[in-house]
Amino acid sequence: MEEVINGILIREVETKNIMTKSNLPVGGYSVNPYVGCTHACKYCYASFMKRFTGHKEEWGTFLDVKHWTEIKNPKKYAGQRVVIGSVTDGYNPQEEQFGNTRKLLEQLIGSDADILICTKSDLVVRDIDLLKKLGRVTVSWSINTLDENFKNDMDSASSIEHRIAAMKQIYEAGIRTVCFVSPVFPGITDFEAIFDRVKDQCDLFWLENLNLRGGFKKTIMNYIAGKYPDLVPLYDEIYNKHNRSYFEALEVKAEKMAKKYDCAFVDNEMPYGRVPQGHPVIVDYFYHEEIRGTENTGKRNR
């Protein structure tokens, strides 16, 4: 089946196995119920997928809906990290129609896997009933601004306020939550302001740098030149001259913020468990692409 719905090219495709062994730093398995992502983030690293899928359409304008063989032995993944949404958002707007992510969660019940859901949507609250049954599950929202205008310039996902409201609802349901400040835009992202908004409703507060690579580097640099011309010298230093001092200073700032709010501060780790309200574990994922190995406890390549 192939059709255009609200300007998005939708295809239905068959896949033998929905679970893919992961080469992400967190290890385990990656699960992507869709190919492509209609949130159309301008800085999306996952746009590289087009090289392998053969799509000619602009990133954000197509979505392949996967059909897979049912997971009949979920216990196979016991103790494994399972990341849902490493190169798509399982809660894109089309999920309301196709329900792939809900079907996946239903099939993983009883797996005893360590499940991490990455999203920019509030649709995930629909599945609270399943999340409670899964046990060891974490839901992470990407939030890199409190400015809805900047957010709208960058993506077509749920509003920041809707994401924060969803995080609160999931947290209050007893499910572990993450505020993933990603990517941190130099001179634009105020991560302490974001922390102040979410500190009472998240267990982990992740920080990740804006890593400009591939085809979207020009897009972002042109955007900065047009909307934030005063930041052009800073972006030139970071992304053309490869000066790391800005993000190194932010790492120091994040550690000081942790002390200010009496929070734990860790480097490239993902501790588990709930934390006292108002004391999220702050995790420094700046330059996470330099972590060696498949486990999220590696050291950086310096």
Q: What is the pLDDT of residue 207?
A: 96
Give dist(CA 126, CA 170) in Å, integer.
Answer: 10
Q: Judge whether residue 38 has pLDDT over 90.
A: yes
Decide which of 101 and 58 is more confident. Answer: 101
pTM score: 0.92
| Tokens (6 digits) for 13 | 């495709």
List, for residues 196-235, the tens digit of each pLDDT value.
999 999 999 999 999 997 778 999 999 999 999 999 999 9
Q: What is the pLDDT of residue 281?
A: 96
List, for residues 125-182, the tens digit of each pLDDT value.
999 999 999 989 999 999 999 999 999 999 999 999 999 999 999 999 999 999 999 9
Other CB atoms within a 10 A radius of the CB of residue 194 amount to: 21
Domains defined for the chain, CATH in brackets: 71-290 (3.80.30)
Query: Confidence class of residue 52 from pLDDT cuts 50, 70 and 90?
Result: low
Helix (H) or strand (E) holding 184: strand 176-184
Give dist(CA 85, CA 87) in Å, integer.
Answer: 6
**Closest C-alpha to 198, from 261, 270, 128:** 261
Query: Confidence class of residue 1 from pLDDT cuts 50, 70 and 90?
Result: confident
Q: For 103-130, what is the mean pLDDT?
A: 97
List, for residues 245-291, the tens digit of each pLDDT value.
999 999 999 999 999 999 999 987 778 788 899 999 999 988 655 54
Other CB atoms within a 10 A radius of the CB of residue 288 amount to: 22
Give dist(CA 94, CA 89) in Å, integer.
Answer: 10
Q: What is the pLDDT of residue 288?
A: 56
Q: What is the mean pLDDT of the chain?
A: 90
